[in-house]
Amino acid sequence: MGLIAGGLLSGSVLWLLSGLSAPLPVPWRYAGIVAVALLGLLREVGLVPLRLPQNARQVPQDVLQRSLRRGALQFGFEMGTGVRTYVSASAPYVLAVAVLLGGQRLHVAMLAGIGFGVGRAMTPLARRAAGTGDRWDADLRVRIRTITVTAGAVLVAAVGLLAVRQF
């Protein structure tokens, strides 16, 4: 629940900030989104060495030690915002830029934030469902590059189609 609430907050804040890009012509904004999506894909493929802006630390352990239920909610919320933790993939940044420059309605930004929170929740849920964490970790190490590059390519295609639709 905390992951989704955190993602919802981030999507809403990005939507509020998106008003700052409103004076820019729509074609410029969508060109910016496509450029960031392509840059993200090139980074994931390894062609462009680019450090992502992130708070390179984890949520402190003491968050969970005070009260397990409240701590889990706070931990999830902080993870869901994407602000206080590692975000190693380019896709969330592309999504953030798309919300920021896309000029979408509030519900679209909120759904994007919820999607980010749900996406962050999928990893621990999938690991738990796999039964043995060690096997899941090994499988992920083998497949992570394919998953990341495929997700990046799908995101570039989706953003490209959205941009074409706007022109």
The H-assigned helical ranges of 19-132 are 26-45, 62-66, 68-81, 91-102, 106-129
pLDDT for position 163: 72
Single-letter amino acid code for the residue at 158: A
pLDDT for position 15: 94
Q: What is the pLDDT of residues 98-152, one digit of tens each?
A: 999 998 889 999 999 998 888 888 887 888 888 777 888 888 889 888 988 888 8
Single-letter amino acid code for the residue at 48: V
As for how many domains the chain has, the answer is 1
Q: What is the pLDDT of residues 4-45, one digit of tens each?
A: 999 999 999 999 999 999 999 999 999 999 999 999 989 988
Residues 6+ apart with CB under 8 A from 107: none
Classify 144 as helix, strand or coil: helix
33 within 8 A of 110, measured Cβ to Cβ:
no
The whole domain housing 126 covers 2-166
Q: Which residue has the higher pLDDT, 102 or 68?
A: 102
Q: Considering the entire predicted model, what is its pTM? A: 0.80
